[in-house]
Chains A and B, each alone.
Chain A
């Protein structure tokens, strides 16, 4: 047992992991040492002094390794004269602590008393009240009566906005620095800091913009008092009224485990509604963090503009209809289409929905081979390489550090998948060798050991050079993220193959903490690929649209303007759209079906790391909308007389029987939870109570071919011809912005509206000069016959002859789906005298 050491706690000998600090070690064997400033995800600083213990060292016989005994037969311990902070002490063999002596108890009582000298004790109106470490520890250690004079209490700002999402109550703050350390250590964006010292110590920000990072909400979770609260949940509910329902964030492929705090809400007509979204601990996925998009982006489920009735096009207009009418019409149209039926599914369609939709299309084709199941967006591809050499089962970014090389190509993870950004950044901090290959600067570059600037189109050549790099060739582990910036579908498929080739040729496939990750666009894009959907099918469906086209959560018009005409020609064509809102795509449909949001139903989604995860029904569903799987199963029943499944679980069971990769992944299996470390979700009085505990399942990663010992040999694709741009031409490259105007998100978080930028285009300074454009100018961008107005940003770091345009910001005149050549012209402002 070289990995553990002996720790004597209150006279009892325990085996604890070597290298752990005393707080963690004691916690592992069931002794809760109280803390305020310490947090297992942050480096210990020992500044609150709450974790004081008596510390000693037992004498050890050098020959036998046994404890030297005193005359009572107990280990002889030399005690230090003073108390020590447990969080900053690393256990050594034979270390002894006392945690219950009067000296220790008194010290802890004193610390709490000092903290309370200027604490407002406004628990009855505090959002944290009920799940507050200070409140809990005051109940245990606090004095019954205050010895301090009320007149000498400090009165400070109660509602100080650190940004527009997070409020600081200066009176409640106990100066533990968890928030400042979270920002500095974990996020790498030190926008919070202490100011002054002693009793005048305060949290400040003088950054511009102030506290405005994608991870700001997490500080409110780890704040051990009610000093930091979110603008979203302030005075929203009391923690003891809330029930935590396990769910999965629907916004990106990371698949963060979240907990939807729900309650029976009077303001919502006595329905059960989601009051807030909190992270749910899954150490392999999101640890205990979520980004602000996931935290605040849940309001769409209760938005007034939700569709609640099916709509049927009559006389050129969409008019309300019953479900029976709508489904009968769809069944009739499918039967009449004689197999000319296709479906495209978007990013947040659950595995169950996808499966039942697949049955609709397959039945229509009479079981014949077809390529009529598409995913949307369809600019990303190459999922077969993930199935072969994807990130190995059991991999965990939390364990990556020295010896691991992480490559991020053609992707800005901070915008596309923030929690992956956070975990990659922290792996780099622990010593992982991070290589970024992008055509423009990205957030992760700050932490990269090598930043390889590539040109759009130069991705394969850059990958090829990687195989020769010792940091890749000789690394113990290699993980490659492949994004799609600057690429079309074929380009991305080739790049995925190239990355697979790097992994296999350097012997980094089929081992834990190695493999390939596609930075997909949606929360369940991976699931769609697994269930037989493909980008290639989408491309052919859009090129030659079938007589009946079913679009589930696929807002193809908003993402690509060229698709309007595809839906608008109705002669002999029939479009079914399943959506939550009347999107630009739904407006063109022949039948619109209202679908349920992720909090109104249960199901499973598969993350970008191939982890199949369950989400549960959290909120009373709206009257009207139905889950997609039920709707598609009903269409099948109408057409074939097949018996619909009664639950999503039954659909998943069928998937586990038909799809090899999903074998055994029943709801029961996906719902299993193992004990996780650090133990922050338990019933201790200082980490617990903040909805962290995972009770909904950790999910299961399905194994790749390489995991099963079948490592393929993959050839490096040939370097393609570089794109030639004529002088004066611009390559328009769509990029991803985290906060966008997609209906599900825009309706979701009015709080974040001010964080969604106006549609913008970024130009190289040279190009801007040639085009006579300066920062802030309005310009018309035209490409593929579509024009849109954008605000110009000039950035010297953008490649020449390139215009970066963020997706989904300009829904009226969408950006191109894939890079294409276009042009830009200035909007001349006519002086007016209004």
Chain B
């Protein structure tokens, strides 16, 4: 339960707003962190915290692309291949990344570690190819640096699983 587990954080969030319903989005991030995605239970919990209808929470979660409404890999890689990035080779980079992981656009690897998808502009055109992993930017990538990151994340995921 979010309310117990993150009580202090939730209280801090509520303190920032005049109305409880204003806190929907920060609370959805808390839920996403806790569950890895915005599950139906997460929707109900956030709705109860904000004292609004679950449907309204679902609507917000659905509108914004940074809320995951389906379970995703531990590392959620969003690669920008909009025009400026594509000009810097992002298209080719993206295809190579998919091939390296052996999945297609939007899919998750069999071990559940990586989900890869292409997204619209992330506002770092000058540093393409770039991607966002769990909302952190990784810029000026090449397949070499990318492979290193992937192996690092894979190892971290394995270590976390082993615990």
Interface residues of A (CB under 8 A from B): 189-197, 204-208
Contacts and interface: CB of A to CB of B under 8 A. Distances in A.
Interface string B36-72: 0000100110000000111111110011000000000
Given A194-B59, A204-B58, A206-B54, 10 more contacts: A189-B53, A190-B55, A190-B56, A191-B55, A195-B63, A206-B43, A206-B55, A207-B53, A208-B44, A208-B54
Given A204-B58, A206-B40, A206-B58, A196 B53 contact: no
A205 B55 contact: yes
A190 B63 CA distance: 16
Interface in B128-156: none
A96 B136 CA distance: 53
Nearest to B57: A206
22 contacts: A189-B53, A190-B52, A190-B53, A190-B55, A190-B56, A192-B55, A193-B59, A194-B62, A195-B58, A195-B59, A195-B63, A196-B63, A197-B62, A197-B63, A204-B55, A204-B62, A206-B43, A206-B57, A206-B58, A207-B53, A207-B55, A208-B54
Contacts of A191: 53, 55
Contacts of B53: 189-191, 207
> What 4 pairs between A and B have smallest CB-CB spacing?
A193-B59, A195-B62, A206-B58, A193-B55
Contacts of B54: 206-208
Contacts of A193: 55-56, 58-59
Size range of the interface on B? 10 to 19
A189 B59 CA distance: 14
A205 B59 CA distance: 9
Interface string B85-116: 00000000000000000000000000000000
Interface residues of B, dominant DSSP: helix
B147 to A, nearest CB: 34
Interface of B: 40, 43-44, 52-59, 62-63
Contacts of A192: 55
Nearest to B65: A197
A772 to B, nearest CB: 28
B44 to A, nearest CB: 8
A190 B53 CA distance: 6
Nearest to A197: B63
A207 B57 CA distance: 10
Nearest to A191: B55
B91 to A, nearest CB: 23
Contacts of B58: 193, 195, 204, 206
Contacts of A195: 58-59, 62-63
A196 B65 CA distance: 9
B39 to A, nearest CB: 11
B93 to A, nearest CB: 26
Contacts of A194: 59, 62-63
Nearest to A192: B55
B7 to A, nearest CB: 22
A161 to B, nearest CB: 15
Contacts of B44: 208
A214 to B, nearest CB: 16
B19 to A, nearest CB: 14
Contacts of A189: 53
B56 to A, nearest CB: 5
Of B54, B55, B57, B63, the most chain A CB neighbours within 10 A belong to B55
Given A190-B53, A191-B53, A204 B63 contact: no
Nearest to A210: B55
A195 B54 CA distance: 12
A197 B56 CA distance: 14
A207 B56 CA distance: 9
A193 B54 CA distance: 10
B83 to A, nearest CB: 19
A204 B43 CA distance: 13
Contacts of A204: 55, 58-59, 62
A781 B109 CA distance: 60
B132 to A, nearest CB: 20
Of B43, B54, B57, the most chain A CB neighbours within 10 A belong to B54
Contacts of B63: 194-197
Of B43, B59, B63, the most chain A CB neighbours within 10 A belong to B59
Nearest to A184: B56
Contacts of B52: 190
